[in-house]
Structure formats: C-alpha cells, structure tokens
Structure 1
Amino acid sequence: MAETYKFISDINVRQQNWTSKVIVAEKYVAKTSHNHRTRYQNMVLIDMQGNKVQCALYNNDITAFKNTLIWSNTYLISNATVKLTDPKHVATVGPIQWIINGKTKVRPVQEDNRAFLFSTYQIASFANLHLHMDNYDQIGTLLLRLQFFYQKIASNN
C-alpha cells in the first residue's frame, strides 16, 4: 500500500502524525546566534505543489543531519515540530516553520525531482549574474550582500 503524505500547506501548528514529501530547495551555512550560545542552520523545503516552508536545525542536530538533508534531494519528513514563524526573522517564506531534531524522521526518496525544483526557481549562470544586480529579486539581494562582504574585506586589508 502506498504511503500517503501531506502537502506543506496542509500541515499546521501542533499537528502530529504527518509525513510530507519535500525537496531541499535551499540550504544555508550554519551560523551562531547573536547570543553566541546557539548554532542554527536554515533550509527551505518545497513540495510537489510548489509550497515552501522554512525549517531550522539547532546545535547537534546540524551535525546529525549534515549528510542526510542534501540540496536538491527528495525526502519524506515526518513529525518535525511545527511553529509559528517569528516575523522578525528575515529568511521567512511563510507563516510557519519546521524544526528538525532527533525526533524527526527523515527518509530519502529515490526520485530525481530536480527538473521540478529548477522550474520553480530562477537559475542564472554565474557569467550572467551582473544582469540581475539592479533587480530586487533573490539574485540581486545576493549580489548586494556579496558586494558588501567584499568591500568589508577590502577595507580590512
């Protein structure tokens, strides 16, 4: 019997006993919080309807899932903690976020859904990134951050 799973839009706060089939669409570098006590790593997951959810891993869970949650791979994720997203977090892609921890079941799915993933994101080659610098899209934002980063490095030298 085929396993049934929910789409991201069908999963609510405090809901239990659910499974969703998702693709790792974005995976960010782990960072240390401002209080220097907590490490966190954000990701964006997408389902086959195009719904997105931000998820976060903290401290030892980052290491535990390092080789499991890989960009562009598909997974069945069950029972992550579902919370309302704090509006002051910039990386938010919706009203809820999932917290993946040791109690979360994450199983790889042997499907290649990269064509779907690439159809939902605007991918630009590195050679053409300069064409997006004046746009207020994700690539333009990334380029502005890179420009700031390089200016900061140059000022320190």
Structure 2
Amino acid sequence: MRLGVTVLYWLRCSCYRVWLRMTNLLPIRDIVPFMKNWSCLITVQEKQQITDSKGTPTKKQQCIFYDAEGSKVEAIIFNDDIPKMSPLLRVYKKYKITNAEVKPIPAKFQTADITIQWVISTKTIIEELNGADNDIMPVNFNYTKFTDLVHHMDDKNKSVDVIGIVMAALGKRTLNRSSKESNVQKFVLLDEESQTVLLSLWDDFLANEGQQLLSNLHSYPVIIVRRIKVNNYKGVALGTWFDFVILVDLPI
C-alpha cells in the first residue's frame, strides 16, 4: 500500500513538472541564483514580523514559500518595499510569483533545507490564485514533545518547533531588560498528552502575535510555534527568538 502511495505521489510530481514547463513555470528547486524570466506557483507558509538588521538601518521581512513538490524557499522584502509588497502576501494563500531576484543565502544564515533566497521588490509580479485547485501539498512539521523540551534548555544554538492549544494568558508585565523597559506576557500551551508549558512573548511579538492570540483566546486556538528557544525559567519555558514565528489555526 505504501509503495502504491509513493508511486502515485511520484507520478503526480512528474506530471506537475511537465505541466509547469508547458506553461512557462518552474518548480522552486529549478530556480537557481541569478536566474531571470521565471514564474513559480507557491503557497505562503510563514510570514515573520518586520525586523532590523543588526548594526544597520535596514529593515526586512522574511517569508517561507513552498510548492506542490514540498520544496521550500526563503523570501525577503527590504525597507520601502515592505509596505508596498508585504500586504500582497497572506499566509496560506497561493500565488504566482514572477521575477523575484534569486540569491544564495550566506552560509552562516542557511538552514538544512533552505539555501536560496528570493528578494521581493516592486519589480516582482505577485498574482493571487483565487479559486485555484488544491494541488499544493501541505508541508509536514517536526514537532518536539513538551516532555522532551528539557533536553534543549538553554542551548543557544538550538531551536525547536512545537504545537499546542493556547489555554490561557497570564497578566502582562513591564520589566527592565537590557537597560530599557520591555513588556512581556506569558501564554499557557497544552499539548495532546495534557502537558503544559509557558510561552513568553516580548515587545513587538506581544504587540502583534500576542494580540492575535488574545483576541482568539475564547476559541482555544491551535498554534504551531516555529524556531522557538527553550529556556530554564522555574523549569522549562519557551522564549521568542529573532526568526521565530507563530502559525495560528492552520487550515491543513
């Protein structure tokens, strides 16, 4: 049975690649650095908050795209292009992207499965695929169980993905952090094994993702927290990291 499913998926991917070439489209894996005149059908998997580049006035916003083959690529928008292009990209929506600038990601910023970056600018054509067939496969995540988080406490080089239900929010606090005032609020997450853990959201993350969680708290949203740090604060706790993201009630 498993072999039959594998063969069916391979045939589907092969037909998809043939169709792409017939329609002048390419899958993510065939789009290489500095390539011109290409288009690709993608789904937005993640959309991070706007952040500053360390030591520079540059602002950036990163996204993760994936296609029907399950291939992923990082997309990035800079500075004045952010307010113009970012609203055109919504999480879980499908798009046709044409002629973004394709660059290799510097080695120190690469992950195991993403080594190429698309720079989205006002020269990039973004077309939302309304009513498109659901032929883009959802991407699987590798979650760390709450009971296993203790093995990753205070590892500065390690982040994890977790999934849980937001059960409650504790009171917001204002603290002195790195010689300035910071706001923090903790959220109680519950997993399918009835284990709980606290997730702390600070400052901009609290103002954005935190408010989204608070507004949906009555419905106990299921969230996926990606690239989160595991801290040792009165036991195991989760803390935000510069490129972490929260995905709320995914439609997959």
TM-score range, shorter chain: 0.7 to 0.9
* Superimposed CA distance per residue, residues 53-80 of structure 1 (whole angstroms, 9 cap, x where no aligned partner): 0111001111112321110000000110
Distance 1:131 1:115 in 2: 33
Q: Does 1:130 align with 2:151?
A: no
CA distance in 2, matches of 1:49, 1:72: 16
In the alignment, the residues of structure 2 paired with residue 132 and residue 27 of structure 1 have an alpha-carbon distance, to the nearest angstrom, of 27
Which residue of 2 is the match for residue 147 of structure 1?
Answer: 238
3-state SS, counterpart of residue 35 of structure 1: coil
RMSD (Å), alpha carbons? 2.9
Which residue pairs with 2:201 in the alignment? none
- Considering only CA atoms, is the larger Rg found in Structure 1 or Structure 2? 2
Structure number with higher strand proportion: 2
Q: CA deviation at 1:91?
A: 5.8
TM-score (normalizing by structure 1): 0.76
- In the alignment of these two chains, the number of paired residues is 143
Confirm whether residue 121 of structure 1 aligns to residue 140 of structure 2.
Answer: yes
Q: Using the alignment, how far apart are the partners of 1:19 and 1:79 within structure 2?
A: 6
Partner of 2:28: 8
1:137–1:95 distance in 2 versus 1, CA, 3 Å? same
Letter in 2 for 1:14: F
Counterpart residue type for residue 116 of structure 1: M
User: Which residue identity lines up with residue 85 of structure 1 in the other structure?
Assistant: I
What is the aligned-residue identity percentage?
Answer: 24
More RCO (CA 8 Å, sep 6+): 1
TM-score, with structure 2 as normaliser: 0.49
Residue 38 of structure 2 is matched in structure 1 by: 18
- Structure 2: 5+ residue runs without aligned partners? 1-21, 153-158, 163-225, 232-236, 241-252
Unaligned runs of 5+ in 1: 150-157
Q: Is the 8 A contact 1:80 1:104 kept in 2?
A: yes
Against the structure 1 CA distance between its residues 141 and 82, is the aligned structure 2 distance closer, same or farther, given a 3 Å change threshold? closer
